[in-house]
Amino acid sequence: MTPPPSAFGLAAPHALATHAGERAWLAGGNAVDAALAAAVALTVVYPHQCALGGDLIALVARPDGRVLAVNGSGAAPLAADPDALGLASMPVTGPLTVTVPGVLAGWATLSELAGRLPFRLLFEQAIRYAREGVPTAPGVAAALRLEAEHLRADPGIGEIFFPGGQPLAEGRPLVQPALADTLSAVAEQGPDAFYAGALGAGLAARLRAMGSPLSAEDLARHATEVAEPLSAVFRGEEYLTAPPNSQGLHLLQILGLIDRLPDSPGAGLLARVFEAASRDRDRHLADPRHADVPVGTLLGGAHLDALAEQVLAGGGCGAGRAGAGARPSGDTVAVVAADGAGNAVSLIQSLFHSFGSGILDPVTGVILHNRGAFFDLAPGAPNRLAGGKRPAHTLMPVLTRRDGVLSGAHGTMGGKAQPQIHAQLALRLHAGDDPAAALRHPRWVVGGLEVDAPAGTVAAESTVPDGTVASLRAAGFPVTIGTELDEEVGHGQLVRRAGDGFRAASDPRCDGSAVTRD
């Protein structure tokens, strides 16, 4: 194995995941191997936001200059029937919200496309973390406290995360022996251990006993999709992201709308831009294999011109959809990495809401996502639940290029608000901030992070300037003030090119870290 490339940058939302990624790079891997090792570790150390039972969408850049979108999102069970549910909207948690988890197959696809290390080596640190235990992270402990009543009702979650009936406190050992065994099996046998083996069959059987239509056949038919990314130029820099069912196209809409506004638009105007893109997402975003998603029209000059006129005219507060009983904690992790050989990755994986469906399979140790909660049940809706259909997806990786050369790898946690967070980071970076300053800057988001968050309202950190809050309220947006460095405005990870090397930073709103090597 040849030595790793001389320049390298990696950021992840948990320091132990960053450590796992750096070890993979030092073992002879490249940026993709490092990102994957970090991603696997995150399913152990940050289980409220990602797990083997979740999804993945990524962008990967290779040394030949090609960028590929890797869609590791899973579909609804073939037997899913929206009419049989007898509900006005999808539940937020529980067995009916579980779609096929795609993260394992997504990891394997990324490794095959651009990795250097054997797939099994990417699991070494994660297996050790799960078997020997790690200190419970502050973010995990906070999520357990916040949702204790809901989470402890599940026997699997209760056994691991509520010893003696009490939530694990920050720093207490988090040991997951069943998950360690599952990770070991996947490391040795590959994704088939889950999708075509006893692990998946047993998990599907448990879900069916709970009322889910998901079957072993649904797992076996899952496949990762590799496609060309979408892109648009913003202030001299090309932004690339994943195509639908990812919501990435709505970041490109936002950037296009900002370019059509007066220089340095105020917060109220920017909030209307965010809201306009959110309306388009809620009207159109779906699985393009099952519905027409008019990407060309939505990103076309005529449509963006019309939206810009509406924004400038001041219309349209109240975008998005809101459900009942909003759950206000985390959902997603981002890992970003780049190296001097031309490899880069923005990898986003998720449980959707905190601890996903609220179900942990005791046999495998796998927590299952609630990605199906984002389906619509309205007849004729593009994102209506259907068997074999992927839901509209919040996950949206981002890479940037300048003059054809990779300039950045960006990723955020933030559910529905990810396009807004990316846009605010883009504005800070183009104003001259380095990655750490761009991430630390006070933020606000319109419409919340989650599927059932109140629509048309703004969540702002306590450090957002008074003038910004006044501008938002003058534009007609109710504003809720949170805390300093509040996770309710999402957290991000950045790697940016700097000369012959990279600068990397992890958001102070999470428990992460970043590493660079020159």
**Given this model, what pLDDT does residue 415 score?**
85
Which amino acid appears at position 63 of this protein? P
**Given this model, what pLDDT does residue 324 score?**
32
Per the prediction, the chain carries an average pLDDT of 93
For the stretch 467-480, pLDDT in tens is 999 999 999 999 99
DSSP assignment string, 270-285: HHHHHHHHHHHHHHH-
Structure-token pair, residue 366: 């796998």
User: What is the number of residues in the chain?
Assistant: 518
- 318 pLDDT band (50/70/90 cuts)? very low
Structure-token pair, residue 152: 């402890």
DSSP assignment string, 489-504: G-EEEEEEEETTEEEE
Determine the Cα–Cα distance for residues 95 and 500; give it in Å rounded to an integer. Answer: 49
HSE, side-chain direction, 13 A CA sphere, residue 236: 4
Determine the Cα–Cα distance for residues 467 and 442; give it in Å rounded to an integer. Answer: 13
> Contact 312/261 with Cβ under 8 angstroms?
yes
For the stretch 69-96, pLDDT in tens is 999 999 999 999 999 999 999 999 999 9
Q: Does residue 23 carry a pLDDT above 50?
A: yes
Structure-token pair, residue 107: 């990891």
Exposed/middle/buried for 266, CB within 10 Å: 0-12, 13-18, 19+? middle
> Has residue 470 been placed in a domain?
yes
Q: Does residue 317 carry a pLDDT above 70?
A: no
For the stretch 225-272, pLDDT in tens is 999 999 999 999 999 999 999 999 999 999 999 999 988 789 999 999
What CATH number should be reported for the domain holding residue 274?
Answer: 1.10.246.130
Q: What kind and span of H or E run contains 107?
A: helix 103-114
* Proportion of the chain above pLDDT 70, given as a percent: 94
> Contact 397/241 with Cβ under 8 angstroms?
yes
Q: Does residue 114 carry a pLDDT above 90?
A: yes
Strands 230-234 and 366-368: unpaired
- 325 pLDDT band (50/70/90 cuts)? very low
> Has residue 441 been placed in a domain?
yes
**Given this model, what pLDDT does residue 500 score?**
86
- 6 pLDDT band (50/70/90 cuts)? confident
* pLDDT, average across residues 107-117: 98
> Has residue 206 been placed in a domain?
no
> Has residue 367 been placed in a domain?
no
**Given this model, what pLDDT does residue 487 score?**
86
**Given this model, what pLDDT does residue 316 score?**
54
Determine the Cα–Cα distance for residues 35 and 24; give it in Å rounded to an integer. Answer: 9
> Has residue 108 been placed in a domain?
no
Among the ranges given (142-146, 265-269, 316-320), the one the predictor scored with the smallest mean pLDDT: 316-320
For the stretch 326-346, pLDDT in tens is 333 446 999 999 999 999 999
- 1 pLDDT band (50/70/90 cuts)? very low
Structure-token pair, residue 55: 């999804």
Instruction: Fill in the DSSP letter of residue 436.
Output: H
**Given this model, what pLDDT does residue 321 score?**
40
Determine the Cα–Cα distance for residues 250 and 114; give it in Å rounded to an integer. Answer: 27
**Which residues are bridge partners to 405 per DSSP?**
402
Exposed/middle/buried for 54, CB within 10 Å: 0-12, 13-18, 19+? buried
Residue position matching structure tokens 């988090």: 174
> Has residue 159 been placed in a domain?
no
Q: Does residue 452 carry a pLDDT above 60?
A: no
> Has residue 283 been placed in a domain?
yes
pTM of the model: 0.95
> Has residue 423 been placed in a domain?
yes
**Given this model, what pLDDT does residue 345 score?**
98
* Proportion of the chain above pLDDT 90, given as a percent: 91
Catalytic residues: 332
Determine the Cα–Cα distance for residues 489 and 479; give it in Å rounded to an integer. Answer: 13
Domain tally, the chain: 1
> Contact 518/501 with Cβ under 8 angstroms?
yes
Q: Which domain holds residue 234?
A: 227-326+395-517
Alpha helices in 365-507 (DSSP H): 418-430, 435-440, 466-474
Q: Does residue 426 carry a pLDDT above 50?
A: yes
